[in-house]
Amino acid sequence: MEAGPWGDVLTLQAMKLGIAGLVISGCVRDANLIIDLGFPVFCRGLSIKGTGKNQPGKVNVPICIGDAVIQPGDIIVGDRGGLVVVAQDEVDLAIANSISRENKEIQQRRAIEAGSSNTVELLNLGDTLKRFGLL
């Protein structure tokens, strides 16, 4: 967190190579320029202090960011809400589950717009609340 090893120069090079974004367990520099370039970055913070690029890196090895272990070939999906790691062999299931959830939420929004105010019914919480003695 003392320095930002990634800045606008690496961003430009990454974009030229077709890299879609950056996830880094550390800081970046040149945030305004990176934002202006439209390059998605997920980082822990910002630091104006640069770094030397004197240490060798590793490619195609597992890494750990926070509590997530990321294997080579895993798919990383992110938006303003955060990131998710999807194992390559679980992509089809993750997509199917995402579509199902989105369809469910569309129906919930429609019910609310139609006047539903029963959140317990809308979110199907009855059994859970009964189990905890809350109904």
**Mind listing the pLDDT tens digit of every residue in the chain (135 residues)?**
889 999 999 999 999 999 999 999 999 999 999 999 999 999 999 999 988 888 888 999 999 998 899 999 999 999 989 999 999 999 999 999 999 999 999 999 999 999 988 889 888 899 999 999 998
CA of 4: how far to CAs of 10, 27, 48, 89, 107, in Å?
11, 5, 7, 34, 44
CA distance 3 to 20: 23
Greatest Cα pair distance, the chain, in angstroms, is 62
pLDDT of residue 52: 85
What structural domains and CATH numbers belong to the chain?
8-73 (3.50.30.40), 93-131 (no CATH)
pTM of the model: 0.75
**Residue 6 has what DSSP assignment?**
B
**Residue 51: exposure state from Cβ atoms within 10 A (0-12, 13-18, ≥19):** middle
